[in-house]
Amino acid sequence: MIRNTAASWGSLARAFHWVLGIAIIGMLAYGWWMNHVPARADKFFYRSIHADIGYLVLLLTVLRLVWRGVNPTPALPAEMPSWQRIAARVSHGALYAVTLLVAMLGWAHSGARAQDYSSFFGLFHVPQITSPDKAAADAFEDRHIFFAYVLLALIVLHLAAVAFHHFVKRDRVAARMVGTGAADQAGLST
C-alpha cells in the first residue's frame, strides 16, 4: 500500500524515510570528509556535488512533510507512556526542522559565495536566496556545519530510540518503518 494507515507506514513514507536517511547520513560523512581533506584544486567540485545533493535533500524533505501532512500518522502503542509520546513528537519535529535548517543554511552559503554552487549537476541553475558577501558566506558556512553536528546528534538519539523499541520494548514500533509483514499485520492498538 502506498498510503499510511492507522497501524503502519505506507510504502511512499518508508521510501522517503530510507532515501532521506541514507542521503543525510551520507551527506554528513561526505561533508566531514570534504572539510578535512587538504586544500586542493578540485575542492570546488566536491563542494558542488555536496550542494547538488543538498538541494535534493531539501526538496525531498519538503515533499516528505507534505506527504506526511496528507496521510494519517500510525498510532503509537496504547501502553506507551505519555512522556515517550511527547519525546517522539519533539524528536521527530526536531529532526525535520534541523534537516531543513541545515539545507537552507547550505543554500544561503552557496549564494553568498562569489563563485556559487548554483549549477545543479550541470543541468540548470538553482536560484540563489542570498547575494555574494564573503562575511555572510563564512557565517552561513559556520552555522551550516554547527547544525550538521546537531543533526548528527539527533540521528544518534533517533537510532538509540529505535534500538530501545526494537530490542528492549519489543513493541514493533521500529518494525513498522522496515515494512515487515508481521508489523503491518499486527497493527498497533490506539
Predicted local distance difference test score (pLDDT) of residue 184: 47
**For residue 177, what is its C-alpha cell?**
518503518
Whether the pLDDT of residue 187 is over 50: the answer is no
pLDDT at 178: 87
pLDDT surpassing 80 at residue 183: no
- Residue predicted with more confidence, 184 or 70: 70
> pLDDT of 118-167, one tens digit each?
999 999 999 999 999 999 999 999 999 999 999 999 999 999 999 999 99
What pLDDT shows up at residue 123? 97
**Grid cell digits, residue 182:** 508481521
Predicted structure pTM score? 0.92
- 188 with 75: CB under 8 angstroms? yes
Q: Which helix (H) or strand (E) segment is 120 a member of?
A: strand 119-120
Instruction: Say what the pLDDT of residue 135 is.
Output: 98
What is residue 180's predicted lDDT score, i.e. its pLDDT?
59
- Torsion, Cα 70 180 93 148, to 10 degrees, reads -120
Residue 186 scores a pLDDT above 60: no
Q: Which tens digit of pLDDT belongs to each residue from 36-92?
A: 887 778 889 999 999 999 999 999 999 999 999 999 999 998 899 999 999 999 999
CA-CA distance, 129 to 104, in Å (whole number)?
9
